[in-house]
Amino acid sequence: MNFFKSFLASCLGSLIAFVVLLFLVFVFMAAAVASLSSDNEQVIVKENSVMHLKLDVPITEMEVENPFEGLPIPGATDGTIGLIQLKQTLRYAEKDENIQGVYLDVSFFQGGYAKASEVRQALIDFRKSGKWVVAYSEMMSEQSYYIASAADKVYINPEGQIEFNGLAIEVSFFKKMFDKLEIKPEIFRVGDFKSAVEPFMLEKMSEANRLQLNELVTDLNTNILQDIATSRQIDPVRLKEISDKMLATTTEEAQKLHLVDSLVYYDQVLAELRGRLLIGDDEDIHFIKYNKYQKTISTYSSSKNEIAVIVADGDILPGKAQQGSIGSDTFAEEIRKARSNKNVKAIVLRINSPGGSALASDVMWREVTLASKEKPIIASMGDYAASGGYYLAMGCDSIVAEPTTITGSIGVFSVLFDLSNFLDNKIGITFDEVKSGEVGELVTFTRPLTPYERAIWQKSTDRIYDSFTSKAAEGRDMNVEELRKVASGRVWSGTQAKQKGLVDVLGNFDEAVRIAAEKAGIENDYKLRFYPKYKSFIEEWLEGAENAAKIYAIQEELGPNYHLYREVMKMKRLQGTQARMPFELKFQ
């Protein structure tokens, strides 16, 4: 009997292995075919064409190629739109005689307001060429409307929805949950505004945090309303009243208040576009999708002068970088290589990060300061460059930020979680230890820290803050006391940061490149190259598919409690000393 059990088990195992192997073969063949088809596909832009720009996928700093896009494969996504590539494509389309205009379709923009501002400005620049942009959607979020307002005409479905009621920032608090679970956070921080740890120790915002968030959201909203008022030719005071009181609760009200031009259905939009193209009612419009049109663009340059663009996007962590994270080893090496490369005449450090590990931030800061002694290095800030993100920027020659960039947060915190009571009382696991001296493990979750150990943690946190502020003051050419008045972990908008001396120029990525070229003396003769180079898509996809399978299994097991698991994982990442933005943004 045991023989047959073992035999059947072996057969079953072999069958499963065979099925898995067949699946992997299918995946690789599909990827190869998709990649080959994509490479060999000849995209022809017909005369009198319209670019269809649908902004319904995540907007990242750099585009992630996805040969599986559109294939029925688990884990495959619709890819992303890279902000930098999008702007390059629109610039190319300005001069393309076959492209007459852009049909903008944006319902739920998946990016921050700084990215939205850059997309918006790219559309305005496109219109300056004499071409047009027509925006239409069945519904528009606040960010989507902000982008759409840059179009010549803004249309919405008569039965659709538009959100225009200002900004809000929501913060989640977990103290009551920790109390119920008998989990005790061990918190060490410097600065009244370093509020990233408040969700672990309070049930609502501190007055200091409420103050900074209120001023931040007010300034961001002011910048956004000013842009919309200019494009839509609405009095700014009146527009603020419309937003504050949410006077446009229906599409009819939105039209009466001049937020949109007309309430139309899709067929009516097509009729409008045919009129612009001067074609008959029965003729097809030559739409070309953004991702197809992008394949027609060549960015080749024969120039020997290179501006190295090092794109730092995500949380800051020690070690090697992956898509969506800034690994200190990888980025320090990239900055080093750019510094020693004679063909690289200037460096643009593109930063989109809420911060992370204080040590990793300092490792990269050192390479920035060394590079700045040999060639121009300019910081370009995206949606946010806070705490560790600002740490990267502060050693650069110039710092460029959007008015809506969230930056500053010059401060640090350390946090550990004492799970001893939870493990003992809820699960029944206890721990004991022996040690050779007065101090045991400093990074532990199995027991509370002693008063002496807490003093060591606070001393270490204070020292890192002193180092952070001293280096920031040196980079910004300020005395330390002056710098600390705008530090204490407080976040600022780009506009506020410029007023406080933390930012040099309000502008976008293009402005940072212009400054880099000017400082290097290569204004009319340079090419851009982007770093770092990541793993191939196949490698990334296989890792992602494995992670997706794990996440799916955990979601199925935990059900509605999955969000608690995510918070526990976040706590795990926060252990130790962090230079991180003091809250997680959740704009409405």
Which residue matches tokens 């409405």?
588
- Catalytic annotation on 245? no
Phi–psi pair at 444, nearest 5 degrees? -145, 150
CA distance 189 to 206: 14
Q: In which element (H, E) is residue 480 found?
A: helix 480-484
The separation between CA 348 and the C-alpha centre of its own chain, rounded to angstroms, equals 18
Q: Tell me the β-bridge partners of 357.
A: 578
Active-site choice (87, 131, 153, 194): 194
Q: Are 360 and 318 in contact (CB under 8 A)?
A: yes
425, exposed or middle or buried, with CB in 10 Å at 0-12, 13-18, 19+?
Answer: exposed
Token pair for 379? 């910081």
CA 433 to each of CA 417, 430, 436, 440, 444: distance values in angstroms, whole numbers, following the listed order: 18, 11, 10, 8, 11
Q: Beta strand pairing status for 315-317 and 325-327?
A: parallel
CA distance 85 to 353: 19
DSSP code, position 559: G
Active-site choice (328, 353, 357, 387): 387
DSSP code, position 423: I
- Catalytic annotation on 387? yes
DSSP output for 348-405: EEEEEE-EEEHHHHHHHHHHHHHHHTTS-EEEEEEEEEETHHHHHHTTSSEEEE-TT-
Token pair for 192? 């009244």
Alpha helix (H) residue ranges in 78-206: 83-95, 113-128, 142-148, 175-181, 198-201
Angle at alpha carbon of residue 531, lines to 526 and 537, rounded to 5°:
130
CA distance 580 to 507: 24
Count CB atoms within 10 A of the CB of residue 439.
12
Q: In which element (H, E) is residue 494 found?
A: helix 494-499
Q: Are 525 and 413 in contact (CB under 8 A)?
A: no
HEC sequence for 222-276: HHHHHHHHHHHCCCHHHHHHHHHCCCCCCHHHHHHCCCCCEECCHHHHHHHHHHH
Token pair for 454? 């807490």
Angle at alpha carbon of residue 547, lines to 546 and 550, rounded to 5°:
90
CA distance 141 to 113: 12
Q: At what angle do helices 562-574 and 537-558 cross, to 10 degrees?
A: 120
Nearest to 407 by CA among 154, 155, 219: 219
Token pair for 469? 């502020």
> Which residues carry out catalysis?
194, 387
